[in-house]
Amino acid sequence: MLRTLADSGSDREIRFIHSARSPKDIIFREELDELARDHGNFHIHVLCAEPDDNWRGPVGLLDDTTLLKLAPDIRERSVYVCGPEPYMKAIRGALQRIGLDPDRYREESFGGLTRPAPTPSASQAASVRFARSGIGQQCRSTQTLLEIARNVGLYLPSACGHGICGTCRVLKLAGDVETADLGGLSAEEKAEGYVLACCTRPLGEVALDL
């Protein structure tokens, strides 16, 4: 959409807000920077849930307070939202609290049909050791790593809940798991041992870097 507006010479004042897991996960980052540099009516805002030491932009998840900060006149704007359904649901709620007219809202899901993480045919005993936190937890193989972490009071960022966005990425140090991510991890991340906690279940003893 931004490319089309740029190519057509649109003079509309645009607020483009993108949520990314980390700075390295910003999609088309160089092109976005170029569009903002070449078009004074394009304002690019990126939020990172897991910023690095060099990040100077907004941090956290997108909510009504942040939306109003980045686009104070959002009630008068047309709003287009794209993302996993849980993400869009959160944004819809934020816009409702802000008071946006529903007629100004449009959305498109990039997730398509989602499927839950596979459930073993029989519940089996399992355990998860959270190495950095020094916590061990007995559990069942029908529970996701995200559920287990929350049950012991550990915070692990999550968003889509279907293995799409990659927010709940965590490094598996040892053990076998069953997972059904929908593209939220790159091949390199999988090779390094990362899994998505929302759609991964332990098979026996598992250790996580958390």
HEC-encoded secondary structure of 136-203: EEEEECCCCHHHHHHHCCCCCCCCCCCCCCCCCEEEEEEEEEEECCCCCCCHHHHHHCEEEHHHEEEE
Q: Does 78 share its domain with 140?
A: no
- Amino acid 183 reads G
183-204: pLDDT as tens digits: 788 888 899 999 999 999 999 9
For residue 134, the domain's CATH number is 3.10.20.30
Residue 110, pLDDT score? 61
Query: Pick from 43, 75, 108: which residue ends a domain?
Result: 108
| 7 pLDDT higher than 60 | yes
Rounded Cα gap, residues 178 and 195, in angstroms: 10
Mean pLDDT of the region 153-163: 83
| 58 pLDDT higher than 80 | yes
Mean pLDDT of the chain: 88
Count of domains for the chain: 2
Range with lowest mean pLDDT among 51-55, 75-79, 124-128: 51-55
In a domain, 118, yes or no: no
| 36 pLDDT higher than 80 | yes
- pLDDT category at 122 given cuts 50, 70, 90 is low
More confident site: 156 or 210: 210
Q: Does 76 share its domain with 168?
A: no
Write down the pTM of the prediction: 0.57
Residue whose C-alpha is closest to residue 194's, from 163, 170, 158: 170
How many CB atoms are located within 10 Å of the residue 90 CB?
19
Q: Does 8 share its domain with 37?
A: yes
In a domain, 69, yes or no: yes
Q: Does 152 share its domain with 78?
A: no
| 65 pLDDT higher than 90 | yes
Phi and psi angles of residue 189, each rounded to the nearest 5 degrees, phi first: -65, -40
139-150: pLDDT as tens digits: 999 999 999 999
Q: Does 100 share its domain with 190?
A: no
In a domain, 11, yes or no: yes
Q: Does 69 share its domain with 27?
A: yes
In a domain, 203, yes or no: yes
Strand partners, 20: 48
Rounded Cα gap, residues 95 and 121, in angstroms: 41
Q: Residue 45: which domain range?
A: 2-108
Query: Pick from 108, 133, 161: which residue ends a domain?
Result: 108
- Give the largest Cα separation in the chain, rounded: 61
How many CB atoms are located within 10 Å of the residue 11 CB?
10
Q: Does 87 share its domain with 147?
A: no
- Amino acid 1 reads M
For residue 98, the domain's CATH number is 3.40.50.80
CB 172 within 8 A of CB 195: yes
